[in-house]
Amino acid sequence: MYRTFMISESGGATVDWVLITALMVGLGLSVMTVMESGLSAISEELTSHMNMN
């Protein structure tokens, strides 16, 4: 069983897709983290502006 798994080429494609998916999730989380601080500042500014009127 182990030998047929090592010879099989379908495992390589699975590893590629797992790595691509992990990179996409990491990229999404990093973009979300960067945008969160900017959106928070804009939201606070908008709230203070609306409370003035």
What's the predicted TM-score (pTM) here? 0.57
Contact (Cβ atoms closer than 8 angstroms) between residue 26 and residue 20? no
For 7-48, the pLDDT digits (tens) are 776 667 778 889 999 999 999 999 999 999 888 889 989 999
Contact (Cβ atoms closer than 8 angstroms) between residue 45 and residue 52? no
Confidence check: pLDDT of 50 > 80:
yes
* Residue bearing the bigger pLDDT, 5 or 50: 50
Give me the residue label for tokens 């709230």: 47
By the 10 Å C-beta count (0-12 exposed, 13-18 middle, 19+ buried), 31 is classed as exposed
